[in-house]
Copies of this chain bind each other. A is one copy, B any other.
Amino acid sequence: MKRIAPLILSIAILIVLGLVLPAQTQSKTNGPVFLSDNQLVRPANYREWIWVSSGLGMTYGPREQSSSAAEPRFDNVFVTPEAYRAFMKTGKWPNKTMFVLEIRSSQTQGSINKDGHFQGDLVTVEAEVKDESRFPETKWGFFPFRSNEQSAKPASPATTECQACHSRNGAVDNTFVQFYPTLLEVAKQKGTLKQVPADSK
Chain A 5-38: CB-based contact to B (< 8 A → 1; otherwise 0): 1001100110111001100100000000000000
Tell me which residues across on chain B come within 8 A of A20, comparing CB atoms.
16-17, 20-21, 24
| Cross-chain contact A111 with B9 (CB below 8 angstroms) | no
- Of A68-76, A91-99, A131-139, A147-155, the segment with at least 4 beta carbons within 8 Å of chain B is A68-76
**A102-128 contacts to B (CB < 8 Å):** 104, 106, 110-122
Taken together as a complex, chains A and B put the C-alpha atoms of A61 and B178 apart, in Å, by 33
Tell me which residues across on chain B come within 8 A of A59, comparing CB atoms.
113-116
Task: For A114, give its contact among B21, B60, B81 (CB under 8 Å).
Answer: B60
Q: Is A48 an interface residue (CB 8 A)?
A: yes
Instruction: Report the interface size class on chain A.
Output: 35 or more
Taken together as a complex, chains A and B put the C-alpha atoms of A99 and B120 apart, in Å, by 20
- Point out residues on A near B: beta carbons under 8 Å: 1, 4-5, 8-9, 12-13, 15-17, 20-21, 24, 47-48, 50-51, 53-63, 66-68, 72, 74, 76, 81, 84, 104, 106, 110-122, 165, 169, 171, 176, 178-182, 196, 200-201
Cross-chain pairs A/B with CB under 8 angstroms, 30 sampled: A1-B1, A5-B5, A5-B8, A8-B8, A8-B9, A8-B12, A9-B9, A12-B12, A12-B13, A13-B16, A16-B16, A20-B20, A20-B21, A24-B24, A48-B84, A51-B76, A53-B118, A54-B54, A55-B118, A57-B117, A58-B116, A59-B116, A60-B113, A66-B116, A111-B178, A111-B179, A111-B196, A111-B200, A118-B179, A121-B181
| 19 more CB-based (< 8 A) A-B contacts, given A8-B9, A57-B115 | A8-B8, A8-B12, A13-B15, A16-B20, A20-B20, A48-B81, A51-B76, A54-B76, A54-B119, A55-B113, A56-B106, A58-B117, A66-B115, A67-B116, A68-B116, A68-B117, A111-B196, A113-B179, A122-B181
